Amino acid sequence: MIMQNLFVNGCSFNGPRKKWGKECNTWVGKEIADHYGVTLYDFARGGRGNRRICDTTKIFFEQNLERKKDTFALIQWTSPGRRDYPTNDGYKKHKFPTMETTWKTWDPNRDSNTTSFIKYLFGLGADLDQMTQVESILGLLDLQDYFQNKGYPYVFYNTLSDAKITNPDVQLLFDKIDKKRFFKPETSHLDYTVANGQQCKQDDPHPNEEGHKDWAKQLKEFIDANNLRSI
């Protein structure tokens, strides 16, 4: 495959932080696209979750089947606690004019009533960590199977770390992930950013320019070492 395009999906960790200063005007996807000299299709959006990432990625490729020949997919998974849902009000449709579906998200870190709502919806005995882990892993495996069945080259990585897996059933599902195409599955970009003091501000853990470039450099080395631009 001659790589001519890079498709990127994720959350705010794969976009600029302009309101916090010019030092945050780059991001991992842009660094990767610039390195390979290819066109960037950036579908990452702040505050959104993994269901939207999975669904909009599939829609993009189904709308652009010719991209199979020249497009590499970079998928940055976000918090499994975020619960995406389609809307009927065309919310921010201008962001993705080629798609009819629009999205909003419940986020337990942003919406104070999310946890109580989920427990009400599923019952007071709901194990939220296990539930979100299973849903997140199944979404990841779903997109992994889609890419493999279609023959699209891709790479995954985590932005936010999940809770430690303690259930053997969940571990069984996690072990089905193709680690050859998963960059640093034992950690996340957030953890790396904080550990290395690369955040935009002390109270904002999003990566600054150094943080994006550092992570992107390691990611490029991982892609090339494992020949991931081919399937």
> In the chain, what percentage of residues exceed pLDDT 90?
47
| pLDDT, tens only, 169-219 | 989 999 999 999 999 988 899 999 999 999 888 788 889 989 999 999 999
Q: What is the mean pLDDT of residues 26-42?
A: 95
Between 56-60, 84-88, 203-207, the lowest mean confidence (pLDDT) is in 84-88
- CATH number at 77 reads 3.40.50.1110
Helix then strand then coil, % of the chain, to nearest 5:
45, 15, 35
| pLDDT band with cut points at 50, 70 and 90 for residue 117 | low
pLDDT (0 to 100) of residue 163: 67
Axis-axis angle for helices 128-150, 50-63 (nearest 10): 10
- Determine if residue 193 is left, alpha or beta; phi over 0 gives left, psi from -120 to 50 gives alpha, anything else beta: alpha
| pLDDT band with cut points at 50, 70 and 90 for residue 143 | very high
Q: How many domains does the chain have?
A: 1
The sheet carrying 182-183 orders its strands as 39-42, 5-9, 71-77, 154-158, 182-183
- On whether residue 117 sits in a domain, the answer given is yes
> How many Cβ atoms sit within 10 Å of the Cβ of residue 169?
10
pLDDT (0 to 100) of residue 20: 52
pTM for this model (two decimals): 0.85
pLDDT tops 60 at residue 120: no
- On whether residue 32 sits in a domain, the answer given is yes
pLDDT (0 to 100) of residue 28: 96
Compute the distance between CA of residue 184 and CA of residue 212 in angstroms, rounded to an integer: 15
pLDDT tops 70 at residue 21: no
- On whether residue 62 sits in a domain, the answer given is yes
- Token reading at 124: 């007071």
- On whether residue 36 sits in a domain, the answer given is yes
- On whether residue 230 sits in a domain, the answer given is no
DSSP letter string over 56-84?
Answer: HHHHHHHHTGGGGGTEEEEEEE--TT-EE
Q: Which domain holds residue 153?
A: 5-225
- On whether residue 231 sits in a domain, the answer given is no
- On whether residue 51 sits in a domain, the answer given is yes
pLDDT (0 to 100) of residue 25: 78
Place of tokens 């065309």: 90
